Structure 1
Amino acid sequence: MQAWRVHENGEPGAVMRREEVEPPTPGDGQVLLRVRAANVNFPDALLCRGHYQVRPPLPFTPGVEVCAETEDGRRVITTAALPHGGFAEYTLADAAGLLPAPEALDDAEAAALHIGYQTGWFGLHRRAHLQEGETLLVHAAAGGVGSAAVQLGKAAGATVIGVVGGQEKAAVARALGCDLVIDRRSEDVVAAVKAATGGRGADVIYDPVGGEAYQQSAKCVAFEGRIVIVGFASGTVPAPALNHALVKNYSILGLHWGLYAAKDPASIARCHETLTAYAAKGIVKPLIGERVPFALAADAVQRVADGTTTGRLVVLPEGAHA
């Protein structure tokens, strides 16, 4: 089968190689899946660089999120079992982690539903307890993770402020339903949030960026607000000033969604039922920025690593038309 593999750590565009390999053999509790579509996530870039919290043995195939088909013909979504990731014709996954792909979504959309929307749901509801009528600020609102949070925030009845970089992404964020869009390249984020909220600030801030975005968040979070830390796409891990959190009465909440698979797997299944119902009603629909031919997978991961993409890039196997 064809697979993209990494033999040494580095930038995705330099270290991902397309190779002919044997299909992987399932281990205990695993199943072999035929990949229908593989979503590109920022962790795929971190895996290539060797900077992710999980470091699979070399060589490995990246691609942590797939829509795939079981040997008995079921269409499922899941996270791939590394080192046999989803940028290949076949991948492995834990049988217990398979979820039915929503019928309302095509393969590319289904592949992009799992990690981003589960992360958004757990971040906004389980961690931050977002309430109807509150103000939600989403950093990188036109990206794969941010766009999911925007849709889920609107579904929860929140007023959603999206922060983006550039006019093209601003247009995308508006189309997603943001009530206010702030272009960080040309506007003062903190001042704009304060102006939009009458000086109060945002009740919940969803931050997959870190770095300067976190510094802005701490300056415009409301009394008893909650900052949800989702990731560090900027490459800079901030060091929060806890004395500042103390005097302003706000919470800093970490979210590692993958931990729920070990600590509370039933909660993932319940969330999937909710997301499937949302998809059926058209409340959520993954934003697919591009459906990428298999031959261009390495380039797609590099572009996500560089932060130049909008929505999700989804890699399709040869002959797929999802």
Structure 2
Amino acid sequence: MRAVQLVELGQPLSLRDVPVPTPAAGEVLVRIEACGLNFGDTLIVKGTYQEKPPLPATIGMEMSGTIEAVGAGVSHLEKGQRIAAYSGFGGLAEYAALPADICVPIPDVMSAVDAAAFLIAYGTSHVGLDYKAHLRPGERLLVLGASGGVGLTAVELGKLMGADVIAVARGAEKLAIAKQAGADHLLDSDTCDLRANVKALGGADVVYDPVGGDLFNAALRACNPEARLLPLGFASGTVPQIPANILLVKNLTVIGYYWGGYTRVNPKVLTDSFAVLFDWYTQGKLKPHVSHILPLEQANDGLELLRSRKATGKVVITTTA
């Protein structure tokens, strides 16, 4: 089978021929149809992600496809079933042997591309806003990086959950996409005074931040008393250092949050979230925004779209001809 592998840190991925895996006990063999790229994949290539696979490694954190074979001990899944999975690695290939307990059956109406674009982006935003930050109807949600993979879903879900949503992104084109997702207010991070503009809108009750850096610092100072802040990534390249005196004076809460960690710590949080999200998708309340669909041999081009911030929403790699 074909697989796109990281052979050397910091170098482009290589398209290689490798053996089709055999599912072990507790695993299923999945014929992969589509793989959603994530900013974390670019960090794995650099060697700066929190998880570092031994090389050579097939990367690709999330995928969708059809079960081809079932390993011993698997009773809740069957051959021919369509699934999506968050595995951390292995998605940029034609087949993968995956633990059965991370495979999620997908609705019949969901395409392979939508399924590959769904789990991480929507899952991260839903667990973050609902389970972690306890976003309530009528609260003001500030979303940084609002046109990216997770940011755009935070806008969409925040609006669906009844919040007043402030979307922050770079340039009119990206802000227009955030507006289509339901944003009530649009702020251009290249030109606005974020702190002043957010305060003028009434301040933030919840901050959703995959960016970090100066934008986090400005958002922190635009928070209302008892606001909750979710720093879930540092796409700016700068990890903010949080002044405790501001937290104290305003009774603010900064919430540590790594969505992928729940696969080990408390997977029920994720399965409960997926049940809600798939129901909303089936009802037509959610629709993944995929800006680019590329074939397997163009996986490096897909990663570059993320690095250069030329993508909006998701980039999906299709693995079948």
Asked if Structure 1 and Structure 2 have the same fold, meaning a TM-score greater than 0.5 normalized by the shorter chain, the answer is yes
TM-score range, shorter chain: over 0.9
Q: TM-score, normalised by structure 2?
A: 0.94
- Partners in 2 of 1:184 and 1:308 — Cα distance? 16
Match for residue 29 of structure 2? 32
The 1:226–1:28 alpha-carbon spacing in structure 2 relative to 1, beyond 3 Å, is same
The reply to whether residue 74 of structure 1 matches residue 71 of structure 2 is: no
The reply to whether residue 140 of structure 1 matches residue 129 of structure 2 is: no
- Partners in 1 of 2:96 and 2:132 — Cα distance? 32
Structure 2 runs not aligned, ≥5 long: 69-78
Determine if contact 1:209/1:232 at 8 Å carries over to the other structure: yes
The 1:211–1:90 alpha-carbon spacing in structure 2 relative to 1, beyond 3 Å, is same
3-state SS of paired residue (1:227)? strand
Match for residue 191 of structure 1? 196
Determine if contact 2:4/2:296 at 8 Å carries over to the other structure: no
Shift of 1:81: 5.7
Once the two structures are superposed, residues 124-167 of structure 1 have per-residue CA deviations (whole angstroms, 9 ceiling, x without a partner) of 01111000000001111111100111111011100001000111
Match for residue 43 of structure 1? 40
- Partners in 2 of 1:240 and 1:29 — Cα distance? 43
Match for residue 7 of structure 1? 7
Match for residue 171 of structure 1? 176
3-state SS of paired residue (1:39)? strand
Shift of 1:231: 0.9
- Partners in 1 of 2:99 and 2:212 — Cα distance? 31
Select 1:57's aligned residue among 49, 54, 59: 54
5 Å-filtered alignment, 1:84-123, equals 85-123=90-128
Shift of 1:28: 4.2
- Partners in 2 of 1:161 and 1:280 — Cα distance? 27
3-state SS of paired residue (1:284)? coil
The 1:6–1:253 alpha-carbon spacing in structure 2 relative to 1, beyond 3 Å, is same
Q: TM-score, normalised by structure 1?
A: 0.93
Shift of 1:290: 1.2
- Partners in 1 of 2:270 and 2:320 — Cα distance? 31
- Partners in 2 of 1:196 and 1:81 — Cα distance? 39
Structure 1 runs not aligned, ≥5 long: none
- RMSD over aligned CA atoms reads 1.3
Match for residue 239 of structure 1? 241
- Partners in 1 of 2:251 and 2:87 — Cα distance? 40
Shift of 1:20: 1.3
- Partners in 2 of 1:131 and 1:219 — Cα distance? 21
| Identity fraction in percent | 39
Determine if contact 1:40/1:65 at 8 Å carries over to the other structure: yes
Determine if contact 1:80/1:91 at 8 Å carries over to the other structure: no
Aligned residues: 311
Match for residue 73 of structure 2? none
Once the two structures are superposed, residues 71-98 of structure 1 have per-residue CA deviations (whole angstroms, 9 ceiling, x without a partner) of 111110111363xx11111123211111
